[in-house]
Amino acid sequence: MVDFLQGWLLRLAPYPVLVLVLTSLLAIFFWVPTDAGLGLSQRIFYYHVPAATSCFIAFAGGGIGSAMYLYTRKPLWDHAAHAFVSVGMLFATIVLVTGSIWARTAWGTWWTWDSRLTTFLLLWLVYASYLLLRTLSRDNEMGPRYAAVLCIVGALNVPLVMLATRLFRTIHPQVINNPQGGISDPRMVTTLMLSMGAEILLMLWLWALCVSTLRLGERVELLSEESYRRSVPS
Amino acid sequence: MLALIWKDIVLEARTRETLPTLLVLGVLVLVVFYFSLALRPQDIDRTAAGILWIGIVFASVLALGRSFVIERDNGCIEGLLISPIDRGSIFLGKLAVNVILLLAFETLLVPMFALLFGVDLMANLPGLVLVLVAGTVGLAAAGTLFALAALGTRAREMVLPLLVLPLQVPLLIAAVQATEMVLGGASVTSLGARGTLLAAFDVLFVTSGWLLFEFVLVD
């Protein structure tokens, strides 16, 4: 299944990704009307929210890949999970940076210990420790399994983190499904959908590329081991 | 499983290595935080619970990192693996030992804490014990699950805090707030979401450790 998905993504995704990313950027900068209350700074929202969605999809994929790896013990699932966490981290970093920039203009501060922000930061830290664990246990054949366990437990922990951080107050805007305020102009909705599609597809394409890199890396390692074995007379 | 718990307790009782180390570390944390925050008497009510938990978390990371070093250095892990017990039971046994050790440490640390910070433990002693036990089980479960994984890396024990601290934050938030409340004399039923969160964390990490532990052991 990973093979199938990855193969088709590599073949088909690049063109729609290019078109969607460009049109969504054009829409964000030139077409969508400026928000009445927040002004220009609100435009970063079309980049921030899809990045968050993409990163959640990627982390969910990482959890599924890890569970499948422990179940089947096939390295391909491990590569899938590893690649998902890597691209998820990229998008999570984008979310934190764009959110921070927006918060500076809207709230007057780069960071605040709000429930959603804290949840996100902790999520980022858990997956950072996942990548760290992968790097540090590269020469241990148990490494992928440790990482898979961390990825599953980390994903199961998310609801608790949300519950815990809510013990503090929250000021993060609730935009989608909010009866008062929120986005209402159809052009805003279209732009959001457009950049949502662009970023999710971009994330999947990057994932497919990342999986091929990991597979290549594994082959290189196997080949170099073999050449080493041949060069040393036993 | 009982034999597993017993052997570790006997080991600790004979060597007397871990518990004194933890205690000294715990008291040091209390002292260092007292001075680095430059606490005035009126601040103590707000910060005491947090400082106590920092001491417990640091000590737990240290203790849990040790718990598999003994097994590995002497090749005991292989012995455990060929013995006819379920992998989940090895986890539960190790967890029980770690919880007992940490609770022993806390029974020594908490009176010292009360003495140094002038906190009244008797305000709601059963509540305080309950919160401490619930918090300790959660910390130990998360730590026991990842202690072996941390040992498997090149950086060894150094990695354990990096793996478990981000996971433990929700527990810590709930435990600190709950401790603050019971120290102020609040009843356990008034803890609300904090109590639920402590219980949920314990259930999640004990079950996932029990189910997933077989994957971190070598076949």
Distance separating alpha carbons of residues B128 and B112, to the nearest angstrom: 15
Digitized pLDDT (tens) for each residue of chain A, 234 residues in all: 888 888 888 888 888 889 888 988 888 888 887 776 777 778 888 888 899 999 999 999 999 999 999 999 888 999 999 999 999 999 999 999 999 998 888 888 888 888 788 888 988 999 999 999 888 888 778 888 889 999 999 888 888 887 777 776 556 666 655 555 566 678 888 888 888 888 899 999 999 999 999 989 888 988 988 888 888 765
Distance separating alpha carbons of residues B3 and B173, to the nearest angstrom: 35
Q: From B161, which residue of chain A is nearest by alpha-carbon distance?
A: A129
CB contact under 8 Å between B201 and A161, yes or no, is no
Reported ipTM: the value is 0.82
Question: b/e for B83-119, b at 16 or more Cβ within 10 A?
Answer: eeeebbebbbbbbbbbbbbbbbbbebbbeebbeebeb
How would you class A41 by CB atoms within 10 Å of its CB: exposed for 0-12, middle for 13-18, buried for 19 or more?
middle
CB contact under 8 Å between B216 and A146, yes or no, is yes
Q: From B151, which residue of chain A is nearest by alpha-carbon distance?
A: A137
pLDDT score at A45: 85
| Chain B residues whose beta carbon lies within 8 Å of the beta carbon of residue A133 | 149, 153, 159, 163
| Chain A residues whose beta carbon lies within 8 Å of the beta carbon of residue B162 | 129, 132
Distance separating alpha carbons of residues B51 and B34, to the nearest angstrom: 8
Residues B59-85 have pLDDT tens digits of 998 888 887 777 777 777 777 777 777
Ranges of H-type helices in B37-189: 44-67, 69-73, 76-82, 87-117, 125-151, 159-183
Q: State in Å, rounded, how far the first CA of chain B is from the last one.
A: 20
Residues B119-152 have pLDDT tens digits of 878 777 888 889 999 999 999 999 888 888 888 7
Write out the residues of chain B at the interface with chain A, using a CB-CB cutoff of 8 A.
Answer: 142, 145-146, 148-149, 152-155, 159, 162-163, 166-167, 169-171, 173-174, 177, 193-194, 196-197, 200-201, 204-205, 208, 212, 215-216, 218
Closest C-alpha among A127, A132, A61 to residue A95? A127
Q: From A137, which residue of chain B is nearest by alpha-carbon distance?
A: B153
